[in-house]
């Protein structure tokens, strides 16, 4: 079986963000609830001209350009999203045209809340292993806008962005072990978005329990009853709806290895948990803290954070990845950092984009939320009126067809 995995990675996100302290003050909440209790510093906010398509195309073209991949090499394109722009037409087919991919490319969209991109990644690995790829690569793009609405419990856990990854049988960044991939599925109502709503409904505290149950189930399927995995790893990466969730997940993995669950008070005094979390998970959560929940892409944002800090000593080291999508579906797998991955640190680092984002005040943020609600029906949108200059933007509809234009 060929060694498959992630060959290129890139992030793209909206040009604006909100400080969590500003949101907390506006909602009469102690800022430390958002900063410490949830672990978030900022959240990316999409304007009406930035949608799932534009972010996916920007991330996809960065992954191709920065990693010297010719669009003709892509034989499968999968866009994982739960914030599609049409009930029928996939985001992926817009992205296919805008990236200039070959017509022989198989193209589709996957939807399973935050799990769509991991489903796309493993499907791409299977496509390569089956021999159908005939030397071509897959491009998997996670693109989402997390919206819970003003004054909701989920509001501080919003965000927006896209992560694109090329998948190949010569992965320059991370090889994934096909023998240690585990899956988990269970029908639960923890988070959902009915057809009539732009906003997600969430049973927030229950969703945390569902996430942790899925972690236990998927890990068991991937590696069995093993109780000494964490010690051998260099990083444990998780789906990150908010940074504190990664801590809760890491605690659950420690409990699995210990063979017992512990109380909140015990966890606060458990030095080994803190040491393990600080070594394996905390160092790779900075992008998630500054961008917020990007749903399908959020696990891979943590992977970008890890790889932008990797030096040549990381080559050959193992990393665990856990993807969770509400509803629910999950995968746990083990990857090995490729020899030479450190050469691509600058190519995948989104620091420059983050440093040029525009800070919104709370009035601008609230106005944008309302304008975005109506964006699908607008016939003409001016990117410049949202402070947007260069890039690909959604500019409104003509005869019910979405229009995109590069500025």
Site string for ligand HMG, 50-89 (x = CB under 6 A): --------------------------------x-------
Q: Is 191 in the site for ligand HMG (CB under 6 A)?
A: yes
**DSSP secondary structure letter of residue 30:** -
What is the arrangement of strands in the sheet containing 16-19, beginning at the earlier edge strand? Answer: 42-45, 16-19, 358-359
Which of 24, 208, 220, 315: binder of ligand HMG (CB under 6 A)? 208
Say how many CA atoms lie within 13 Å of 149 toward its Cβ.
Answer: 10
> Which is catalytic among the residues 105, 114, 210, 236?
114
Site string for ligand HMG, 140-179 (x = CB under 6 A): -------------xx-xx----------------------
Whole-number Cα distances in Å, 266 to 64, 139, 263, 273, 275: 47, 44, 5, 10, 15
Q: What are phi and psi of 148, to 5 degrees?
A: -115, -15
* Cβ-contact 297, 120 below 8 angstroms: no
Which of 325, 335, 350, 383: binder of ligand HMG (CB under 6 A)? 325
Report 1-30 residues binding ligand HMG (CB under 6 A).
Answer: 30
Q: Is 326 in the site for ligand HMG (CB under 6 A)?
A: yes
**DSSP secondary structure letter of residue 295:** G
Bridge-based pairing state of the strands 191-192 and 159-168 = unpaired
Q: How many CB atoms lie within 10 A of CB 372?
A: 19
Least CB distance to ligand HMG at residue 54 (A): 20
Site string for ligand HMG, 270-309 (x = CB under 6 A): -----------------------x-x--------------
> Which is catalytic among the residues 239, 250, 328, 333?
239
Active site residue 114: yes
Active site residue 239: yes
Reduce the DSSP state of residue 305 to 3 states and report it.
Answer: helix
Closer of 67 and 191 to ligand HMG (Cβ): 191
Closer of 201 and 404 to ligand HMG (Cβ): 201
Which of 37, 71, 149, 391: binder of ligand HMG (CB under 6 A)? 37
Site string for ligand HMG, 241-270 (x = CB under 6 A): xx-xx-------------------------
210-249 residues labelled b (16+ CB within 10 A) or e (exposed): bbbbbbbbbbebbbeeeeebbeebbbbbbbbbbbbbbbbb
Residues forming a β-bridge with 236: 320
Tell me how far apart the alpha carbons of residues 397 and 399 are, in angstroms, rounded to a whole number. 7
Site string for ligand HMG, 355-384 (x = CB under 6 A): ------------------------------
Reduce the DSSP state of residue 282 to 3 states and report it.
Answer: helix
Closer of 9 and 246 to ligand HMG (Cβ): 246
Least CB distance to ligand HMG at residue 192 (A): 9
Contact window for ligand HMG (CB under 6 A) among 86-94, 238-246, 304-312, 393-401: 238-246
Reduce the DSSP state of residue 40 to 3 states and report it.
Answer: coil
Closer of 87 and 389 to ligand HMG (Cβ): 87
Closer of 143 and 157 to ligand HMG (Cβ): 157
Active site residue 228: no
Peptide bond into 102 cis (omega under 30): no
- Among 48, 41, 39, smallest CA distance to 15 is for 48
**DSSP secondary structure letter of residue 357:** P
Q: Is 202 in the site for ligand HMG (CB under 6 A)?
A: yes
67 is written with which tokens? Answer: 């990693």
Run of H or E including 166: strand 159-168
Q: Is 32 in the site for ligand HMG (CB under 6 A)?
A: yes
Tell me how far apart the alpha carbons of residues 271 and 290 are, in angstroms, rounded to a whole number. 27
**Which residue of this chain has its Cβ atom nearest to ligand HMG in the complex?**
37
- Among 214, 278, 212, smallest CA distance to 248 is for 212
Least CB distance to ligand HMG at residue 158 (A): 9
Least CB distance to ligand HMG at residue 227 (A): 25
Number of residues that bind ligand HMG (CB under 6 A): 31
* Cβ-contact 169, 2 below 8 angstroms: yes
Q: Is 324 in the site for ligand HMG (CB under 6 A)?
A: yes
Interaction site with ligand HMG (CB under 6 A): 30, 32-33, 36-38, 82, 113-114, 153-154, 156-157, 190-191, 202, 204-205, 207-208, 211, 239, 241-242, 244-245, 293, 295, 324-326
Catalytic residues: 82, 114, 239
């Amino acid at each position: 079986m060929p060694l498959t995995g992630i060959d290129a990675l890139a992030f793209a996100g909206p040009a604006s963000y909100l400080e969590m302290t500003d949101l907390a003050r506006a909602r009469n909440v102690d800022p430390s609830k958002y900063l410490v209790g949830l672990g978030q510093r900022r959240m990316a906010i999409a304007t009406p001209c930035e949608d799932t398509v534009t972010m996916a195309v920007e991330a996809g073209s960065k992954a191709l350009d920065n990693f010297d991949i010719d669009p003709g090499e892509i034989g499968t394109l999968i866009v994982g999203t739960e914030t599609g722009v049409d009930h029928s037409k996939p985001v992926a087919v817009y992205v296919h045209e805008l990236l200039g991919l070959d017509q022989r490319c198989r193209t589709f969209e996957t939807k399973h809340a935050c799990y769509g991109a991991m489903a796309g990644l493993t499907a791409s690995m299977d496509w390569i292993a089956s021999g159908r790829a005939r030397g071509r690569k897959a491009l998997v793009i996670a693109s989402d806008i997390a919206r819970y609405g003003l004054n909701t419990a989920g509001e501080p856990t919003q965000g927006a962005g896209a992560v694109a990854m090329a998948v190949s049988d010569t992965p320059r960044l991370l090889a994934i072990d096909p023998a240690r991939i585990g899956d988990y599925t269970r029908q639960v109502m923890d988070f959902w978005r009915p057809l009539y709503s732009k906003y997600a409904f969430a049973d927030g505290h229950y969703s945390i329990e569902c996430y942790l149950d899925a972690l236990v189930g998927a890990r068991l399927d991937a590696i069995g009853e093993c109780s000494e995995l964490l010690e051998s790893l260099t990083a444990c990466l998780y789906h990150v709806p908010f940074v504190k969730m990664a801590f809760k997940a890491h605690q659950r993995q420690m409990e699995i290895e210990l063979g017992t669950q512990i109380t909140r008070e015990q966890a606060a005094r458990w030095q080994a948990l803190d040491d393990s979390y600080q070594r394996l998970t905390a160092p790779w959560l900075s992008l998630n803290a500054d961008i917020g929940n990007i749903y399908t892409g959020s696990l891979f944002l943590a992977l970008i954070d890890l790889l932008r800090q990797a030096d040549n000593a990381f080559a050959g080291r193992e990393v665990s990845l856990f993807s969770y999508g509400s509803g629910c579906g999950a995968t746990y797998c083990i990857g090995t950092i490729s020899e030479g991955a450190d050469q691509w640190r600058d190519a995948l680092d989104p620091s420059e984009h983050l440093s040029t984002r525009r800070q919104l005040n709370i009035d601008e943020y609230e106005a944008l939320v309302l304008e975005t609600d109506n964006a699908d029906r607008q016939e003409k949108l001016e990117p410049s009126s949202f402070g947007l200059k260069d890039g690909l933007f959604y500019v409104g509809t003509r005869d019910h067809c979405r229009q995109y234009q590069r500025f």
